[in-house]
Amino acid sequence: MQAVRSILVVLDPEHAHSRALTRAKLIAGVTGARLHLLMCDKKRDHHALLSLLVSQLHDDGYDSVSHEQAWQDSLHESIIAVQQAEGCELVIKEHHPDNPLRKALLTPSDWKLLRNCPCAVLMVKSERPWTGGAILAAVDVGNQDEDHRRLHASIIDHGYAIASLAKGELHVISAHPSPMLAASDPVYQLSETIEKRYREACSAFQAEFDISDQRLHVAEGPADVLIPYTEKKIDAVVTIIGTVGRTGISGALIGNTAEVVLDALEGDVLVLKSDQAVSALTRPVKV
């Protein structure tokens, strides 16, 4: 989080009060990051409001603030185009749940943003202050390839940074699969052997990242169920999730855990990309 030097704050034309701006001020106040305010609207002019917000931010001590109104073919494309042009390392946007029927028929705009934005995205869902709250980092210790290891390190680093910023405590959740009799690897045919392997992986993970037993939550089951369950259990204010950023047919059929849990979580959600995903997204992506 300390490496974030420029933050793109996406403002909602329909809501005068911006939760996204509140979170951006908190982070910029600690990191000294530049704020770039963005209003995506092709119908109305918002430059007067943007200028007023910039003036208020200057009065509050935020010296490096800029703004613009932009629109391309869609909301997520507009946001990503500005993020790329401004070189922002973090996008902050308020998330409003889609209608379930609409979501079943059309891929939500925020899902597209999470899939295709090459930088970290903070989806703000709550007005609840972060101060003193628990921070939940979701990892899959069963994945030990180099790309996942770097992603896990990034998730934990961001978790500690937010915990320090919010004067809170970092917790970690790792879900492991249920036994599968058809699995080619005998380890994944018995619940006891699966849990044993994950516990061993967790021990190494705990030693590397200084996670105590009390702050590590390991359970059997699907991640998209266990992550919201653990968030409620520890009353987390922010959940940090990594994503491989699947796009196209793969993304449509399989989905990503970050997308699936977005509406199920009550607190804010920070989504980070793996290096491999970021590299893939530097090329033009068709949605």
**Mean pLDDT, range 38-65, rounded to an integer:** 94
Assess whether pLDDT exceeds 60 at residue 156. Answer: yes
Is residue 55 classed exposed, middle or buried when 0-12, 13-18 and 19+ CB atoms within 10 A define those classes? exposed
Query: Domains, the chain, ranges and CATH?
Result: 6-94 (3.40.50.620), 134-281 (3.40.50.12370)
Residue 213 or residue 278, greater confidence = 213
Q: In what order do the strands lie in the sheet with 90-94?
A: 65-69, 34-39, 6-11, 90-94, 120-124, 268-273, 236-243, 134-138, 169-176, 216-220
pLDDT tens per residue, range 219-250: 888 889 999 999 999 999 999 998 865 544 44
Q: What b-and-e string marks burial along 149-162, b requiring 16 or more CB atoms within 10 Å of the CB?
A: bebbebbbbbbbbb
Q: What is the pLDDT of residue 251?
A: 39
Least confident of 34-38, 73-77, 97-101, 215-219: 97-101
Give the length of the chain: 287
Give the list of residues 6+ apart from residue 223 with CB closer than 8 angstroms, or none. Answer: 138, 140, 175, 257, 261
Q: Determine which of 41-50, 84-93, 139-148 has the lowest per-residue pLDDT on average.
A: 139-148
In this prediction the pTM is 0.88
pLDDT at 27: 95
Average pLDDT over all residues of the chain: 85
| DSSP state letter for 144 | -
Whether 223 contacts 257, CB under 8 Å? yes
* Integer Cα distance of 204 and 122 in angstroms: 29
